[in-house]
C-alpha cells in the first residue's frame, strides 16, 4: 500500500483496513488538515478584525460542525436544516448567519424563533421580514455591479446571471424599506464569486460594499462570503490569500476613517477549509476495452461525487494498491445506468480489478451533494483525528431508503 506524501491526511492509517471496516466507497476526512487550513486563513487576515463562518453546505455532518465549533468559528447556514444542525453541534444562535434563497415565510419565522442572524437577499423578502419581524436585526446581501471586472469575464457573467442579492440599483429602495419599517441592519453581505481567481474581483466587491455601508451607520460586520478556490492540479490558478488580505487592508482602513468605527470582517470559506481534507476511496470492479479506450469501472459514480459530471471538475486520482505499476491511460467510470465519467484520458499506474483508488479534494461538495440515484445507498463517512478513525455517518442500507415509503 502506498505511503505517498499526498496521502498524509490518512495519518499513517491503512486505507485497506479502513475499507475493510467501513466498506467502499468510503469518504475519509482529516481533522488535522481542516485545522491547518483554518490556521492558514487566520494568518493571512491577522492584521484585520475578522471572523470565519464555516459554510456548512460544503460538508455538513454534525461531527464536522462540532470540529469547527471547537475551533471557534461561526457558521454560514443556507437552510433551516443546516441551521438546526449547527445548533445541535453546539453553536450559539448568534454565531449562525442564516442566508436562504427565496425562503418560505415559515423558514424566516423559524430562523427568527431560533435566534439566528438573518441575511436577506431580495426586496420582497426584506418587505416580508419587516412586516413580520421588524424587531429582529438583519443583514442585507448585496449584488454589486463591481463584478464586471475587465480582469474576469467569468466573474462578470456570474454577477449578471446570479439570482442572489439586492442589486446596487435597488439599494435606495432597500434603504427606504429599512427606514419605513424601522429595521435594524447590523451587517452587509456580498459574495463576489463562486470561484475567486484573483484579488481584483474581490477588492472591487469590497469597495462596493464599503460604499453601500455609508447608508447604514450602525453596522457590526461586513461579510465577504466565500468562493476561495483551492488547486486541484499543480498549474491551477488560485488567489493568493496574503496578497488579497494585503490589498484589502488599506481599502478597509480608508473606509473606517470615514465611517467612524471598525465593523468586523466576516468570511465564509467552505471549499478552502475542507476540500483538501477529504478523500473518496473506491474499489475497481472491472476493466473493459472500448475501442482504443481502456475503461476502469469503480463502485461509485456521480451519485457520490457529482462535481466531475456537473462542473467538469478534475480530481486527482491515486492508485493506492499499485502505485508503481506501468502507466497507462484510463477512463474512470461509475456504476450508474448512464454516462458517469469520473475521469477521462487519465494516465495512472496500471489499474487491476480489486485495486483501491483515492479521489482527492473530495471533502467539499462531495458527500454533501450525494444522492440515492439508481436506489444506491450513500457511503459511510469517517473523520480521522491522529491515529483514530471515527465513523461520523454510517453507510446507508435499503432499509434506510424504505423508511420514508409508507407501505413499502
Where in the sequence numbering do the catalytic residues fall?
337
Q: What are phi and psi of 280, to 5 degrees?
A: -110, 120
For residues 10 and 29, the answer to whether their CB atoms sit within 8 Å is: no
Q: In which element (H, E) is residue 111 found?
A: helix 105-114
Which residues fall within 8 angstroms of residue 31, CB to CB, at 6 or more apart? 67, 277, 383, 384, 385
- Which grid cell is 236? 491551477
> Distances from the Cα of 369 to the Cαs of 308, 320, 365, 366, 372, in angstroms?
12, 25, 6, 6, 10
Q: What are phi and psi of 262, to 5 degrees?
A: -120, 85
Which residues fall within 8 angstroms of residue 109, CB to CB, at 6 or more apart? 132, 133
- Which grid cell is 38? 483554518
- Which grid cell is 268? 465564509
Sign of CA dihedral 212, 216, 220, 226: negative
> Distances from the Cα of 367 to the Cαs of 45, 278, 381, in angstroms?
29, 10, 8
> How many residues does the structure list for the chain?
408
β pairing state of 380-385 and 26-30 = parallel
In the chain, what are the helix, strand and coil shares in percent, each to the nearest 5?
40, 25, 40
Strands (E), 74-168: 74-77, 96-98, 117-120, 138-143, 166-167
CA 84 to chain CA centroid, Å, is 18
Amino acid at each position: 500500500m502506498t505511503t505517498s506524501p499526498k496521502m498524509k491526511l490518512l495519518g499513517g492509517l491503512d486505507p485497506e483496513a479502513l475499507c475493510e471496516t467501513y466498506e467502499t466507497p468510503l469518504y475519509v476526512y482529516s481533522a488535522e488538515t481542516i485545522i491547518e487550513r483554518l490556521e492558514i486563513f487566520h494568518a493571512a487576515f491577522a492584521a484585520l478584525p475578522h471572523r470565519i463562518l464555516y459554510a456548512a453546505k460544503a460538508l455538513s455532518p454534525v461531527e464536522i460542525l462540532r470540529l469547527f465549533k471547537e475551533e471557534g468559528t461561526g457558521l454560514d447556514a443556507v437552510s433551516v436544516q443546516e441551521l438546526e444542525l449547527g445548533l445541535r453541534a453546539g453553536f450559539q444562535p448568534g454565531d449562525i448567519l442564516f442566508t436562504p434563497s427565496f425562503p418560505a415565510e415559515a423558514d424566516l419565522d423559524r430562523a427568527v424563533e431560533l435566534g439566528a442572524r438573518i441575511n436577506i437577499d431580495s426586496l420582497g423578502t426584506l418587505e416580508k421580514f419587516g412586516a413580520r419581524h421588524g424587531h429582529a436585526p438583519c443583514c442585507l446581501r448585496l449584488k454589486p455591479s463591481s463584478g464586471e471586472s475587465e480582469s474576469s469575464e467569468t466573474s462578470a457573467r456570474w454577477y449578471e446571471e446570479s439570482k442572489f442579492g439586492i442589486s446596487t440599483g435597488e439599494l435606495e429602495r432597500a434603504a427606504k424599506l429599512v427606514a419605513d419599517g424601522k429595521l435594524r441592519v447590523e451587517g452587509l453581505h456580498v459574495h463576489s464569486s463562486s470561484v475567486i481567481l484573483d484579488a481584483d474581483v474581490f477588492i472591487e466587491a469590497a469597495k462596493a460594499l464599503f460604499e453601500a455601508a455609508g447608508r447604514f451607520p450602525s453596522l457590526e460586520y461586513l461579510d465577504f462570503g466565500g468562493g476561495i478556490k483551492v488547486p486541484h492540479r499543480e498549474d491551477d490558478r488560485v488567489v493568493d490569500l496574503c496578497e488579497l488580505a494585503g490589498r484589502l487592508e488599506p481599502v478597509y482602513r480608508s473606509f473606517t476613517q470615514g465611517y467612524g468605527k471598525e465593523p468586523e470582517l466576516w468570511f465564509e470559506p467552505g471549499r478552502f477549509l475542507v476540500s483538501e481534507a477529504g478523500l473518496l476511496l473506491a474499489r475497481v470492479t472491472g476493466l473493459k476495452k472500448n475501442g482504443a479506450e481502456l475503461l476502469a469501472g469503480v463502485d461509485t459514480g456521480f451519485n457520490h461525487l457529482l462535481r466531475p459530471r456537473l462542473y467538469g471538475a478534475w480530481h486527482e486520482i491515486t492508485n493506492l494498491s499499485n502505485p508503481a505499476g506501468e502507466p497507462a491511460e484510463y477512463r474512470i467510470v461509475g456504476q450508474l445506468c448512464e454516462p458517469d465519467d469520473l475521469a477521462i484520458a487519465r494516465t495512472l499506474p496500471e489499474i487491476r480489478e480489486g485495486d483501491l483508488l483515492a479521489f482527492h479534494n473530495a471533502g467539499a461538495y462531495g458527500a454533501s451533494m450525494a444522492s440515492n440515484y439508481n436506489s444506491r445507498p450513500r457511503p459511510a463517512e469517517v473523520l480521522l483525528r491522529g491515529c483514530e478513525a471515527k465513523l461520523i455517518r454510517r453507510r446507508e442500507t435499503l432499509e434506510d431508503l424504505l423508511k420514508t415509503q409508507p407501505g413499502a
